């Protein structure tokens, strides 16, 4: 085992032992960077910039999910912009609201990307977020990253015109709003960075998902080259003033950081890769297993590519994969097995969670919501024993529609399911 692999294993063991504490400390530090960055750029409301307020808010973020950190950061941003003017604060609320609606409907689980993107731009290494999420095969992160780009350039706009807007005549309200709108939609550099973010993230993801050796390194290398080339070309044709030296330096730093991330998360020994094949009555399954670099234990194989009826974690041991496949075979051709993917997506985090609670799933062999409503009333007596004179007046279609809208039931071609 190489020295680097040994060091990697030690770091992983340290994280396993103290992961909760490490994550909490990282959240506090990240929150401090966010709140202090906002207050340094917009020092208009002293109460929000108070060091004790900032520290308490950062401590609160240690026990909150990243979404909570995003919300607190947005609140601090709005309050500070209210120190410029009420109309600027109102415009900020509208802008953040629109971005939030767009963001929450697409990739809520990637909220960390929304936090990291403005910070990466401020530190002149925006490519690191694109390469990092591309390496983790998260193309949906393009939405929060795009929102982060817009927020960064909007903050830059307020930093440039904040003092002028603060002392502006209230009679020029429409002109001030027009200035903010034009500052966003006519910002050529922001539009270029949005385009670059989309292209680089998707290219890195696509290459990293290929079943080839060293796909991760090839992906981040290609993404870094694309970032430099597109930014240079856009800088030339749009006549921007982006420093070419800073682009090259920031991209090299981003590539190094992404390489370190890849080493800890996905480094495999391709010389010892093995391929497995097994089948059931309907399918053939192919699995390519790549052992982690420097690790000799069989249970530490890393899955690179697979064709299975459920998703896998890259470091899932082979014995667990085989066990899950056997359990899937046991429920094949049953209503539960036919709708496995939909049931798991609705109520469970992963396939193991599904099998732990599959006995809690109730199946109703009915074709639609109206039939379900009739079954619940007539057979299970949801409203107690009802006289026949009353039953004939029940609108089962409407009641079935209410059951469907409640979200407690899953309607499929194999019937209706409910998780108790």
Q: Are 326 and 279 in contact (CB under 8 A)?
A: no
Contacts by residues 243-249 (CB-CB < 8 Å, ≥ 24 positions apart): 246/124, 249/124
Domain boundary among 267, 291, 309: 267
pLDDT in tens, 177-186: 888 898 888 9
DSSP-derived secondary structure letter, 208: H
Angle at 133 between CA 128 and CA 136, to 5 degrees: 130
394-401: average pLDDT: 89
pLDDT in tens, 244-268: 999 999 999 999 999 888 877 766 5
Domain shared by 199 and 136, yes or no? yes
Q: Are 194 and 202 in contact (CB under 8 A)?
A: no
pLDDT in tens, 291-339: 665 544 444 455 555 566 667 666 666 667 777 777 888 888 888 888 8
Query: Rounded distance, CA 414 to CA 336, Å?
Result: 8
Domain boundary among 282, 312, 330: 330
Structure confidence at residue 1 (pLDDT): 47
Domain shared by 381 and 255, yes or no? no
Domain shared by 321 and 192, yes or no? no
Residue 106, domain member (yes or no): no
Domain shared by 310 and 256, yes or no? no
Cβ density class 308-325: b for 16+ within 10 Å, e for less: bbbeeeeebbbeebeebb
- Residue span of the structural domain in which 152 resides: 117-267
Residue 228, domain member (yes or no): yes
Instruction: Please tell me the least confidently modeled range out of 114-118, 229-233, 301-305.
Output: 301-305
The pair phi, psi for residue 303, each rounded to 5°, is -80, 125
Domain shared by 237 and 302, yes or no? no
DSSP-derived secondary structure letter, 213: T
Q: Are 310 and 328 in contact (CB under 8 A)?
A: yes
Arithmetic mean of pLDDT over the chain = 84
Is the per-residue pLDDT at 42 higher than 50?
A: yes
Domain count, the chain: 4
Say what the pTM is. 0.65
Is the per-residue pLDDT at 274 higher than 80?
A: no
The pair phi, psi for residue 418, each rounded to 5°, is -140, 135
């Amino acid at each position: 085992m190489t020295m680097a692999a040994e060091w990697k294993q030690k770091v992983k063991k340290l994280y396993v032992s103290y992961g909760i504490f490490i994550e909490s400390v990282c959240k506090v530090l990240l929150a401090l960077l966010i709140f202090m960055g906002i207050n340094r750029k917009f020092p208009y409301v002293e109460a929000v910039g108070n060091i004790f307020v900032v520290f308490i808010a950062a401590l609160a973020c240690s026990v909150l999910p990243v979404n909570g950190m995003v919300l607190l950061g947005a609140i601090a941003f709005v309050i500070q912009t209210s120190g410029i003017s009420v109309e600027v604060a109102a415009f900020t609320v509208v802008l953040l609201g629109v971005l939030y609606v767009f963001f929450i409907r697409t990739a809520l689980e990637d909220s960390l990307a929304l936090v990291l993107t403005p910070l990466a731009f401020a530190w002149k290494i925006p490519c690191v977020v694109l390469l990092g999420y591309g390496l983790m095969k998260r193309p949906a992160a393009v939405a929060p990253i795009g929102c982060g780009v817009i927020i960064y350039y909007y903050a830059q706009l307020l930093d440039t015109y904040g003092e002028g807007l603060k002392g502006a005549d209230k009679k020029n309200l429409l002109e001030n709003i027009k200035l903010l709108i034009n500052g966003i939609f006519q910002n050529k550099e922001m539009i270029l960075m949005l385009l670059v973010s989309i292209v680089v993230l998707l290219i890195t993801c696509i290459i990293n998902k290929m079943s080839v050796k060293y796909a991760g390194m090839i992906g981040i290398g290609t993404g870094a080259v694309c970032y430099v080339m597109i930014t240079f070309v856009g800088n030339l044709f749009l006549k921007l003033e982006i420093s070419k030296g800073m682009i090259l330096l920031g991209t090299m730093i981003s590539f190094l950081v992404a390489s370190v991330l890849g080493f800890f998360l996905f480094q495999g020994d391709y010389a010892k890769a093995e391929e497995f094949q097994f089948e059931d009555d309907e399918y053939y399954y192919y699995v390519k297993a790549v052992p982690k670099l420097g690790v000799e234990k069989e249970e530490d194989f890393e899955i690179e590519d697979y064709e299975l009826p459920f998703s896998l974690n890259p470091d899932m041991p082979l014995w667990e994969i085989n066990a899950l496949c056997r359990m899937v075979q046991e429920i094949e051709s049953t209503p539960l097995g036919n709708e496995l993917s939909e049931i798991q997506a609705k109520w469970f985090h992963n396939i193991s969670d599904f099998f732990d609670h599959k006995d809690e799933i109730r199946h109703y062999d009915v074709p639609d919501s109206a039939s379900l409503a009739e079954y619940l009333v007539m057979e299970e007596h949801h409203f107690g024993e009802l006289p026949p004179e009353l039953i004939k007046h029940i609108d089962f279609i409407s009641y079935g529609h209410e059951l469907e809208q409640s979200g407690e039931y899953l309607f499929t071609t194999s019937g209706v399911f409910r998780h108790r």
